[in-house]
Structure 1
């Protein structure tokens, strides 16, 4: 394994050396981290931020001692950064040291105590994408103007996103070649996902709905017919539009996809609400964890419980089953 060079003590604070570390460290972190693309970019940015902070304060970034990391973490907390953001920075620093074959300072017990104190003071509750009800979702679908091309696209995107419990990067990366139709509906091949970084075979099943107005399979077919009319028989599934409803050749970005969801469903919701709502609606309709995990591709039931948005005390409550 190629290792990052160590700066002699006398060179600590030299901008030239630190900048070299920032560039090399960001590359190593991006290459070595086997998570999702968004996580890779975040880790690389976190590493650059840490090395810049070290340069400003005349500290060594690699290897970094515990006091340096503790000071950096405290600075993030004092700057109002969220607990999850601070934890991600620590994960990025740990990854950089691991890839360089160096002990990671984030394993230090005192640093862990510091992080626990920050978590207690700031609170660790993460802001979660809200889930919508099925009734609300159907009302939104009925309000979409399918006489417009972007209406046909957005209807297919929303229905497929919900029925397939897709992450937004999965949804944005779908190609026409990933779709396979049969008499039961649609099978979508996922060449890569957050939990499947090695490209192993992974599929999602989407079924015909009795109500054509809310049928994800028919909605996707309607969109495919639009693409075919414009000569698009391969490439990205979801494309952007130029002004005047002119179809472009550009794949929808995850940012644009999120904007579409918020435009159609309303500001409180995000693209991740499609996935969270799948879990919540499925659980309310009696699906067990194994059935839900078969579609979401979660690895543990703990994640299913975390994704389930059951805020009403009367929802999914065993008190209804006492037989009184």
Structure 2
């Protein structure tokens, strides 16, 4: 059974179906297959905790949960003004909890599907997307960073690498020095695992030199690595108040904070990735080139990531020949 801060423990396969000496290995493989990405697990655990607390308050069973409990919970989220994407994620977390416990989930009930469709229709809200910044404003931000202190060196390297590599915040958090391969042509970053690469297959990103040293992601990263003074371990770490470097891996939450402090509160760490796509498309890059860096699987995802809020951007009306 789950604790308040965890998803339910995965049910062990029945001994009658799996030989005794294989039960432990089978359990491990099933758990790895079901749980998914670490960030997803953390988000689902928080959602599950909220649902179990709601059920306790209303004296309802949470596992297995009756359909009526889920209807009430999702309705309360909707009435509280939660975004539809947030409500959907809560439903997915509850479904995952029931899957892990090997019991039927109320999310499969038709009434839940109708409820979610109705909530989506009433809200009529598109999921809020992280905005993209312009290249000029990004350059100004980078050049304004005080690189005479370790925090400035780290933040400059983080922003430049995050943007030019179209990294997810979770990928920046997990990045180790051993994943970096420098040569005369630039830098190749090997991702050991990512949101779309759960099986640990080889996945690489190429980073190139910039003619302007102040805007060069490779030189900036090398300057930060000199501060770290080691050959292995996390690339981006937290600092003490006196700018003393620690060995503690920097969290995705703090990465987001650095982006907002540097670029503005309207942006998030995901803006680095969205801006890479947008700037690349505005500069004429085709989808295959963009996908080679972002690791998106389809052009549809590239279109979703492209932020062209200004009607004058990327508009064929400029190319009519009049």
Same fold by TM-score, threshold 0.5 exceeded? yes
The answer as to 2:184 corresponding to 1:179 is no
Cα deviations by residue, 1:135-162 (Å, 9 ceiling, x for unpaired): 1111111111222222111111111010
Kept after mapping to 1: 8 A contact 2:209/2:216: yes
| SS class of match (2:207) | strand
Kept after mapping to 2: 8 A contact 1:34/1:197: no
The answer as to 2:120 corresponding to 1:119 is yes
- 1:245 equivalent in structure 2: 243
| SS class of match (1:125) | coil
- 2:313 equivalent in structure 1: 315
The answer as to 2:5 corresponding to 1:26 is no
Cα deviations by residue, 1:176-207 (Å, 9 ceiling, x for unpaired): 10100112100001111111111111111101
Q: How big is the shift at 1:25? A: 4.3
The answer as to 2:50 corresponding to 1:49 is yes
What's the RMSD between the two structures over aligned residues? Answer: 2.1
Q: Give the Cα separation in 1 of the matches to 2:311 and 2:6.
A: 51
Q: How big is the shift at 1:82? A: 1.9
Q: How big is the shift at 1:33? A: 4.1
- 1:77 equivalent in structure 2: 78
Point out where structure 1 has 5 or more consecutive residues left out of the alignment. 5-19
Kept after mapping to 1: 8 A contact 2:5/2:45: no
Aligned residues between the structures? 303
Q: 245-254 vs 21-30, which deviates more?
A: 21-30
The answer as to 2:211 corresponding to 1:210 is yes
Point out where structure 2 has 5 or more consecutive residues left out of the alignment. 12-30
Kept after mapping to 1: 8 A contact 2:207/2:217: yes
| SS class of match (1:249) | strand
Kept after mapping to 2: 8 A contact 1:54/1:61: yes
Kept after mapping to 1: 8 A contact 2:77/2:87: yes
Distance 1:25 1:274, change over 3 A: closer
Q: Give the Cα separation in 2 of the matches to 1:23 and 1:260.
A: 27
Task: Report the TM-score when normalising by structure 2.
Answer: 0.87
Q: Give the Cα separation in 2 of the matches to 1:253 and 1:81.
A: 25
Give matches, 1:1-324, under 5 Å: 25-28=7-10, 33-228=34-229, 232-324=230-322
Task: Report the TM-score when normalising by structure 1.
Answer: 0.87
Q: How big is the shift at 1:131? A: 0.8
Kept after mapping to 2: 8 A contact 1:33/1:40: no
Q: Give the Cα separation in 2 of the matches to 1:88 and 1:55.
A: 20
Cα deviations by residue, 1:59-95 (Å, 9 ceiling, x for unpaired): 2323323222212211221222221111011111212
Q: Give the Cα separation in 2 of the matches to 1:23 and 1:153.
A: 32
| SS class of match (1:187) | strand
| SS class of match (1:26) | coil
- 2:17 equivalent in structure 1: none
Kept after mapping to 2: 8 A contact 1:175/1:235: yes
